[in-house]
Structure 1
Amino acid sequence: MYLGLDLGTSGLKGVLIDDAQRIVAEATTPLSVSRPHSGWSEQVPADWLSAAGNVIDAIAAECDMASVRAIGLSGHMHGATLLDASGNVLRPCILWNDTRAYAQAAQMDADPKWREITGNIVFPGFTAPKIAWVRAQEPDIYAQIDKVLLPKDYLRLWLTGEAVSEMSDAAGTSWLDTGARDWSDTLLAETGLSRSAMPRLVEGSAPSGTLRAELQSRWGFGSNVIVAGGGGDNAASAVGVGVVRPGEAFVSLGTSGVLFAACEAYRPDAASAVHTFCHALPDTWHQMGVILSATDSLNWYAGLTGTDAATLSGELGDLTGPGSALFLPYLGGERTPHNDARIRGALTGIEHATDRPAGTRAVMEGVAYAVRDSFDALRATGTEIDTLIAVGGGSRSNYWLRLIATVLDLPIQVPAEGDFGAAFGAARLAMMAAGDGGPDIATRPDIARVVAPQPELHDDFMAAHARYRDTYQALKDLT
Structure 2
Amino acid sequence: MSGDLVMAIDAGTGSGRAIIHDLSGAVVGAAQEEWTHPVAADAPGGLDFATEGNGALIDRVIGRAIAEAGISAERIAAVATTSMREGIVLYDEKDAVIWACPNVDSRARTEADRLVESGLADDIFRIAGDWVSITAPARLLWLQDNRPELFARIRRMGMISDWLATRMTGEYFTEPSAGSSSALFDLGKRDWSGRLIGAVGLDPAMMPQVVEPGTPIGTVRPDAAARCGLAPGTPVIAGGADTQLALLGLGRRSGDATLVGGSFWQMTYLSDRPLIDPDCGPRTLCHARPGEWMVEGIGFLSGFALRWVRDAFVVPVLNRTGASLNAFDLIESLAREAPAGGVIATTACPMQSDNWCQPPLGFLGFDLNQPGLALGQIARGVMESGAFLAHQHLTRLEALSGVRHDVVQFTGGSSQGTLWPQIIADVTGREVDIPVARETTALGCAMLAASGAGLFPTLDEAVRAMASPIERRVSPDPAARESYRSIERQWDEVTRAAAGLGARGTLEPIWRPAGARI
**Fold conserved (TM > 0.5)?**
yes
For 1:414 and 1:286, the matched residues in 2 are separated by 20
Secondary structure of 1:227 counterpart: strand
Deviation at 1:271, TM superposition (A): 2.0
- The 5-angstrom pairing of residues 17-416 of structure 1 reads 17-34=21-38, 40-61=46-67, 62-91=70-99, 93-109=100-116, 110-111=119-120, 112-118=122-128, 120-217=129-226, 221-222=230-231, 224-246=233-255, 248-305=256-313, 307=315, 310=328, 313-316=331-334, 318=336, 321-330=339-348, 336-337=351-352, 339-351=354-366, 352=368, 353=371, 355-382=374-401, 383-416=403-436
Secondary structure of 2:334 counterpart: coil
Consecutive unaligned residues of structure 1, counting only runs of 5 or more, are: none
Q: Deviations over 1:384-426 (max 9, x none)?
A: 434322221111122111111211111221222x455111110
User: Letter of the aligned partner of 1:324 in structure 2?
Assistant: G
Deviation at 1:90, TM superposition (A): 3.4
Q: 1:326/1:304 Cα in 2 relative to 1: closer, same or farther (>3 Å)?
A: same
Q: Deviations over 1:312-331 (max 9, x none)?
A: 5344353765333222224x
For 2:411 and 2:37, the matched residues in 1 are separated by 22
Secondary structure of 1:316 counterpart: helix
Secondary structure of 2:28 counterpart: strand
Q: Deviations over 1:319-374 (max 9, x none)?
A: 765333222224xxx67235435434321314333622211111222222221221
For 2:340 and 2:176, the matched residues in 1 are separated by 41
Secondary structure of 1:96 counterpart: coil
Q: 1:338/1:347 Cα in 2 relative to 1: closer, same or farther (>3 Å)?
A: farther
Deviation at 1:195, TM superposition (A): 1.8
- The 5-angstrom pairing of residues 464-479 of structure 1 reads 464-478=487-501, 479=503
For 1:466 and 1:39, the matched residues in 2 are separated by 34
For 2:194 and 2:337, the matched residues in 1 are separated by 52
For 2:170 and 2:350, the matched residues in 1 are separated by 34
Q: Deviations over 1:266-316 (max 9, x none)?
A: 222242422222111222222211123122222233333252862553443
Q: 1:270/1:212 Cα in 2 relative to 1: closer, same or farther (>3 Å)?
A: farther
For 2:498 and 2:242, the matched residues in 1 are separated by 31
Secondary structure of 2:395 counterpart: helix
For 2:37 and 2:350, the matched residues in 1 are separated by 20
Deviation at 1:167, TM superposition (A): 0.4
For 1:337 and 1:364, the matched residues in 2 are separated by 21
The answer to whether the 8 Å contact 1:313/1:397 transfers is no
For 1:313 and 1:116, the matched residues in 2 are separated by 43
The answer to whether the 8 Å contact 1:245/1:264 transfers is yes
Corresponding residue of 1:450: 473
Corresponding residue of 2:319: none
Secondary structure of 1:357 counterpart: helix
Deviation at 1:35, TM superposition (A): 5.6
Q: Deviations over 1:70-107 (max 9, x none)?
A: 1111110001323333344434x433234443453354
For 1:2 and 1:232, the matched residues in 2 are separated by 18
Secondary structure of 2:181 counterpart: coil
Deviation at 1:231, TM superposition (A): 1.0
The answer to whether the 8 Å contact 1:81/1:148 transfers is yes
Deviation at 1:185, TM superposition (A): 1.0
Corresponding residue of 2:514: none
For 1:336 and 1:298, the matched residues in 2 are separated by 19
Q: Which shifted more, 372-381 or 133-142?
A: 133-142
Structure number with greater Rg is 2
Deviation at 1:41, TM superposition (A): 4.7
Secondary structure of 1:361 counterpart: helix
More helix by share: 2
Q: Which shifted more, 315-324 or 397-406?
A: 315-324
Fraction of identical pairs, as percent = 22
The answer to whether the 8 Å contact 2:264/2:300 transfers is yes
Q: Deviations over 1:411-447 (max 9, x none)?
A: 221222x455111110101112113314525534222
For 2:476 and 2:44, the matched residues in 1 are separated by 38
Secondary structure of 1:179 counterpart: helix
In angstroms, what is the RMSD of aligned CA positions?
2.6
Secondary structure of 2:483 counterpart: helix
Normalised by the length of structure 2, the TM-score is 0.84
Normalised by the length of structure 1, the TM-score is 0.90
Q: Which shifted more, 200-209 or 41-50?
A: 41-50
Aligned length: 472
Deviation at 1:39, TM superposition (A): 5.1
The answer to whether the 8 Å contact 2:17/2:33 transfers is yes
Q: 1:346/1:68 Cα in 2 relative to 1: closer, same or farther (>3 Å)?
A: same
For 2:445 and 2:339, the matched residues in 1 are separated by 39
User: Letter of the aligned partner of 1:365 in structure 2?
Assistant: E
